[in-house]
Amino acid sequence: MKAVVVHSAGDLRFEDRPDPDCPAGSVIVDVEYGGICGSDLHYVAHGASGLSLLADPMVLGHEVAGRISLLGDGVEGFAVGDAVTVHPAVYCGDCTDCLAGRTNLCPQVTYYGSAAHRPHTDGAFASRKAVPAGQLRRLPAGVTTRQAAVAEPLAVAIHAVGRAGSLAGKDVLVNGAGPIGALLVAAARRAGAASVVASDLSETSLAIAKRMGADGVVLVGSGAQLPDVDVAFEASGAARALGGVLAAVRRGGVVVQVGNLPAGPVTAELAALVFREIDYRGTFRFADELDDALAYLADGLDVEPLLTHTFDAGDVAEAFAVASDRRTGSSKVLLKFV
């Protein structure tokens, strides 16, 4: 089979790998589409994603969908030909966080395409992937594998919206209109926000946010001011943006940090957290919201505005170049494996 493998910073290959075995309790998924994530880009550009350092070659990818081609012994409830997506996390199930339903915080969690542990956890950017049946999610009727390749980042957005508490009737700001930001716009609308405004440096990204449901947009650097809001989602990951986002939140409001901030110390004006009693909350991946994401897609959520580019998997170098350069107009870039 073929797989997308990062060997070190700047060394990305589309190479032959042995076909996977199909152990009991697992299936073989023939991957059809995979979405390139920011963490994939970081491993290729820097040999690291956050605090996870690449030490060995690793198959990338955790946003995938495809069809089952083989069932292992003991697998029930699935059939060859079923269209599925994959929950990319494996957690212990016994720790305090798991027992509290916060499986995304499990200290033992492994994640497809992650170098957090050694040996690294290979991802699913491959023509075939062996997947334990418990990680499979069957696609609802009417949801294509192309659309379902976005289910994982949509689940991230839904989890972040849940971290903010109720959005019903509230004014919302999404700072950073990349793929996650655009999906946050859609998720906030679904959660009953009275208004959703997106802000970004890119006019192209803001146009996508509008198509995903934003009521208004603010081009950062144009002199336009951020609106006063009840809840803000900081999705850019730029520490320099945090002060402006905090200033836009009304007294007693909530800021959810969605974008990964740089490792190490950052400089930000945080006094407003105290004298305006603002809640500053983190959010990390998702727990069970992958099911919610598929339900949103089945209910008609249109993610096509987000899917700006599709490349054959063999053209992965070009795909990563486009995904990493916002001047190309890219948002979510897909790899096609079939």
Structural domains of the chain, ranges and CATH numbers in brackets: 2-150+303-336 (3.90.180.10), 155-282 (3.40.50.720)
- Give the span between the Cα atoms of 47 and 167, in whole angstroms: 38
Res 146 pLDDT > 90: yes
pLDDT band at 265 (very low <50, low <70, confident <90, very high): confident
Q: What is the total residue count of the chain?
A: 338
- Residue 276: other Cβ atoms inside 10 A: 14
Write the single-letter amino acid at 228. D
Eight-state DSSP code of residue 239 = G
pLDDT band at 278 (very low <50, low <70, confident <90, very high): very high
- Give the span between the Cα atoms of 125 and 113, in whole angstroms: 9
Q: Integer distance in angstroms from the first to the last C-alpha of the chain?
A: 12
- Give the span between the Cα atoms of 3 and 60, in whole angstroms: 8
Of the candidates 217, 218, 220, 165, which has an alpha carbon nearest to the alpha carbon of residue 188? 165
pLDDT band at 198 (very low <50, low <70, confident <90, very high): very high
Instruction: Name the more confident of 4 and 222.
Output: 4
Mean pLDDT on 155-173: 98
- Give the span between the Cα atoms of 176 and 220, in whole angstroms: 10
Eight-state DSSP code of residue 304 = G
Eight-state DSSP code of residue 204 = H
Res 44 pLDDT > 90: yes
- Residue 78: other Cβ atoms inside 10 A: 14
Res 313 pLDDT > 80: yes
pLDDT band at 263 (very low <50, low <70, confident <90, very high): confident
Structure tokens at 203: 């006019």
Eight-state DSSP code of residue 222 = T
CA–CA distance from 228 to each of 6, 105, 187, 197, 331 (Å)? 43, 32, 20, 10, 27
pLDDT at 51: 85
Res 157 pLDDT > 80: yes
Of the candidates 34, 11, 16, 51, which has an alpha carbon nearest to the alpha carbon of residue 284? 51
Res 262 pLDDT > 80: no
Share of the chain above pLDDT 70, in %: 100
Q: Which residue has the tokens 């505005």?
A: 305
pLDDT band at 50 (very low <50, low <70, confident <90, very high): confident
pLDDT at 228: 97
- Give the span between the Cα atoms of 296 and 302, in whole angstroms: 9
Mean pLDDT on 107-128: 96
pLDDT tens digits, 15-29: 999 999 999 999 999
| Enclosing H/E stretch for 271 | none
pLDDT at 272: 85
SS3 209: helix
Burial environment of residue 10 by CB neighbours within 10 A (0 to 12, 13 to 18, 19 or more): exposed
Strand 64-71 to 83-86 pairing:
antiparallel
Structure tokens at 326: 């916002």
pLDDT band at 268 (very low <50, low <70, confident <90, very high): confident
Instruction: Cite the beta strand spans of the chain per DSSP E.
Output: 2-8, 11-16, 26-35, 48-49, 52-53, 58-59, 64-71, 83-86, 89-90, 110-111, 128-132, 136-138, 171-175, 195-200, 216-219, 229-234, 249-257, 279-282, 307-312, 332-336
167 — alpha (psi -120 to 50), left (phi > 0) or beta?
alpha
Average pLDDT score, the chain: 96
pLDDT band at 221 (very low <50, low <70, confident <90, very high): confident
pLDDT tens digits, 208-217: 999 999 999 9
Res 311 pLDDT > 90: yes
Share of the chain above pLDDT 90, in %: 93
pTM: 0.96
Mean pLDDT on 3-12: 98
pLDDT at 110: 95
- Give the span between the Cα atoms of 102 and 245, in whole angstroms: 27
Mean pLDDT on 35-47: 96
pLDDT band at 99 (very low <50, low <70, confident <90, very high): very high
Res 288 pLDDT > 90: yes
